[in-house]
Chains A and B, each alone.
Chain A
């Protein structure tokens, strides 16, 4: 009784709290994103020399806006100011992209250094941009016509940050940057970004990768990409990123130094460790209890109760039993689970001296199945009755195998057919053919899409988990039965109680409009 109360408290109170405690909290954004991300470039082909500014629009300044305060453009020759207003941009001025605005400063003196910032007063609050500069006004080469505002020119990506890729075995550095204002145009003329890496801030830099246009995180308008090209752990690297527009490139600032390293624990998998640990612990606990001789109740599983009867019927009729272990290989747990059932069935066929045939579609399955059947015949005291031809190979091919088994079934007319393992579309071809000759059919699979067909065409079907429980059930071995109890308590009971607790909390949270629903979702994130 005391045990039950303690477990109850653990499951209802401590476990949910523990999960909340260790789940991966959202990281504060690695980069702070000021509202504007002002950049400036020299206007290409402007022989008079002008500077074009670009910034991201503030909230509310969108195409649907009926009114938005003017942006005031300020300029200075020094970082600290004083800044003077050189122009304004009002909300009805055409813009090049939905989320960015441009301004051209033509009143510059060639050779002069300039700093810029943008300011707007929204709802009584003055919002200032970053200060961009210095930029040295330089006349462009003669050539084509200078591009007019608001036509796009190549603006650099901003806010480049690079950091060691988390939760990996090293050899990778993650970069993120706010996309270039030119990228925001979603035009085909934007050719994406090139990534450059160097061993010192002064270079030389080498191109180590490139990526397409667009954002990885639309909320922050950032692009995130990992560089994993020949990175040595512990070595310092410097990066810059170039935006490519119609033959032009605009470079971001250089970021560094940054090193990559290996991590000892995957921080996103704490919750997995707790829940999986609980499940494994529970299974081990009940296996041990069962070993100590504690009786365990296991409910009846129809498909498995029928195994004896199905083998018996074949014996009476003097016909063969077919065992089809699915079309997947030994790298599929369903195949392995299916083969454990084969061991039990083979033992029965050995005892009853019933003919068993196991056509397989994989060579490894053939080898494993022979070992299993041979051992079962040995254990049943009938090694004389065994020969390798009980298990034979047809083809690795899905439908080739189905065609072959269909032919065998229709010609040999077995009394009983087992389908245990992983099946795909051939499930119904096999099961309907078996049905047409009146065989008793017992199927079992964990392929959800094939279960309906087995249910419709077979006499008994082991559904999902029942396939994996079959070995324990048929052997009646206490240790194996103990594991079933363990997965009930450590898996299903935990699932049921966690689900109920968090559904209640989430429902209350949803009605009060709190963020708890998001937190709960995040707690069970698969990382």
Chain B
């Protein structure tokens, strides 16, 4: 029960998807579409496990008077705030509409937090570039050189430092060549490798050879 049924379920569902790809006839396609919806439904149940876990950890911190217990309180308050507002006070299904309480929280708290976190990337990109700049081996140098050419080639700066070359033979042109050919070639090799890795891993999972995701060896 604990081991066999999960393996059988995995195999049945996986093989259904495989077959429906080649056999459009009923019921293969309907089944695979249904299975795809199942994920959404199961995850909608499961997300409460996560929420409960977050609350359990936060309450424990408060209870144990952990060093940062005050911040656990803010987590608890914000979680319940948006939950209660979103489920009960935002017009039900119209919760996303402009002017709902949920939307207000989204625009004034969630969205600036998210956008600022994203914007921090500008600084992290800078510090990562700086580290790459100090790299001493040949591979890292090639990486850095390509990065520099593409970055400079996408701005007027690139053509400005190569102004003495004839038009059409400047850094932006070199940048195009790197982006459209060298870069694409490397991307392709990576993508092909990924497809092979996925086919192989999927096959091992469907056949039950790979079961470490279920905790088995």
Residues of chain A whose beta carbon lies under 8 Å from any beta carbon of chain B: 167-170, 262-266, 269, 272-273, 276, 279-280, 283-284, 287, 329, 331, 333, 336-337, 339-340, 343-344, 360, 362-364, 366-368, 371-372, 374-376, 379, 389, 392-400, 402-403, 425-426, 428-429, 431-432, 435, 446, 448, 451-453, 455-457, 463-469, 471, 475, 479-480, 483-484, 486-487, 491-492, 495
Total inter-chain residue pairs, C-beta < 8 Å = 202
Within 8 A of A (CB), among B142-169: 143, 147
CA distance A336 to B200 in the complex (A): 13
B127 at the interface (CB under 8 A from A): yes
- Cβ-neighbour of A487 out of B199, B214, B215 (below 8 A): B199
A403 touching B197, Cβ below 8 Å: no
Mask, B189-210, CB within 8 Å of A = 1, is 0111111111111111100011
Within 8 A of A (CB), among B1-51: 21-26, 28-30, 39, 42-43, 46-51
A169 touching B26, Cβ below 8 Å: yes
Q: Select from chain A the residue with minimum beta-carbon distance to B190.
A: A464
A266 touching B24, Cβ below 8 Å: yes
The CB with the most chain A CB atoms within 10 A, among B53, B118, B200, is that of B200
A262 touching B192, Cβ below 8 Å: no
A333 touching B202, Cβ below 8 Å: yes
* Given A264-B23, A287-B209, A403-B117, A393 contacting B43 (CB threshold 8 A): no
CA distance A479 to B50 in the complex (A): 35
* Given A262-B25, A265-B22, A455 contacting B143 (CB threshold 8 A): yes
- Cβ-neighbour of B49 out of A366, A446, A479 (below 8 A): A366
In the complex, what's the smallest C-beta–C-beta distance from B208 to chain A, in angstroms?
11
A263 touching B25, Cβ below 8 Å: yes
Q: Select from chain B the residue with minimum beta-carbon distance to A474.
A: B212
B76 at the interface (CB under 8 A from A): no
> Chain B residues with Cβ under 8 A from A376's Cβ?
215
Residues of chain B whose beta carbon lies under 8 Å from any beta carbon of chain A: 21-26, 28-30, 39, 42-43, 46-51, 53-54, 57, 113-114, 117-118, 120-121, 124-125, 127-129, 131-132, 143, 147, 187, 190-205, 209-210, 212-217
In the complex, what's the smallest C-beta–C-beta distance from B77 to chain A, in angstroms?
15
In the complex, what's the smallest C-beta–C-beta distance from B61 to chain A, in angstroms?
12
> Chain B residues with Cβ under 8 A from A284's Cβ?
203
* Given A170-B26, A367-B46, A400-B113, A276 contacting B212 (CB threshold 8 A): no
CA distance A287 to B209 in the complex (A): 9
Chain A interface helix/strand/loop/mixed: helix
A479 touching B197, Cβ below 8 Å: no
A483 touching B209, Cβ below 8 Å: yes
A366 touching B197, Cβ below 8 Å: no
CA distance A266 to B18 in the complex (A): 13
In the complex, what's the smallest C-beta–C-beta distance from B210 to chain A, in angstroms?
6
> Chain A residues with Cβ under 8 A from B25's Cβ?
169, 262-264
- Cβ-neighbour of A374 out of B26, B190, B199, B215 (below 8 A): B215
> Chain B residues with Cβ under 8 A from A392's Cβ?
53-54, 57
A371 touching B200, Cβ below 8 Å: no
B43 touching A465, Cβ below 8 Å: no
> Chain A residues with Cβ under 8 A from B216's Cβ?
375
- Cβ-neighbour of B200 out of A340, A389, A484 (below 8 A): A484
B194 touching A464, Cβ below 8 Å: yes
> Chain A residues with Cβ under 8 A from B48's Cβ?
363
In the complex, what's the smallest C-beta–C-beta distance from A227 to chain B, in angstroms?
17
* Given A393-B53, A432-B124, A471-B212, A336 contacting B201 (CB threshold 8 A): yes
CA distance A457 to B21 in the complex (A): 40
A468 touching B201, Cβ below 8 Å: yes
The CB with the most chain B CB atoms within 10 A, among A375, A467, A468, is that of A468
Which 7 A-B pairs have CB atoms at the shortest separation, nearest pair first? A468-B197, A375-B215, A465-B193, A363-B50, A393-B50, A399-B117, A465-B197
B210 touching A340, Cβ below 8 Å: yes
CA distance A149 to B28 in the complex (A): 55
> Chain B residues with Cβ under 8 A from A337's Cβ?
197, 201
CA distance A333 to B201 in the complex (A): 8
In the complex, what's the smallest C-beta–C-beta distance from B159 to chain A, in angstroms?
24
> Chain A residues with Cβ under 8 A from B201's Cβ?
333, 336-337, 340, 468, 471
> Chain B residues with Cβ under 8 A from A396's Cβ?
47, 50
B30 touching A169, Cβ below 8 Å: yes
Q: Select from chain A the residue with minimum beta-carbon distance to B42.
A: A364
In the complex, what's the smallest C-beta–C-beta distance from B44 to chain A, in angstroms?
10
CA distance A455 to B187 in the complex (A): 15
A363 touching B209, Cβ below 8 Å: no
Q: Select from chain B the residue with minimum beta-carbon distance to A426.
A: B117
The CB with the most chain A CB atoms within 10 A, among B197, B199, B212, is that of B212
* Given A364-B42, A364-B46, A471-B210, A457 contacting B128 (CB threshold 8 A): yes
> Chain B residues with Cβ under 8 A from A360's Cβ?
50
A393 touching B213, Cβ below 8 Å: no
A456 touching B200, Cβ below 8 Å: no
> Chain B residues with Cβ under 8 A from A367's Cβ?
46, 49
CA distance A269 to B18 in the complex (A): 12
CA distance A264 to B199 in the complex (A): 24
A428 touching B197, Cβ below 8 Å: no
- Cβ-neighbour of B121 out of A263, A394, A429, A435 (below 8 A): A429
Task: List 8 A–B pairs whose Cβ atoms lie within 8 Å, in order of A's numbering.
Answer: A333-B202, A343-B215, A360-B50, A394-B54, A403-B117, A431-B128, A471-B210, A475-B212
In the complex, what's the smallest C-beta–C-beta distance from A510 to chain B, in angstroms?
18
> Chain A residues with Cβ under 8 A from B127's Cβ?
432
CA distance A455 to B128 in the complex (A): 10
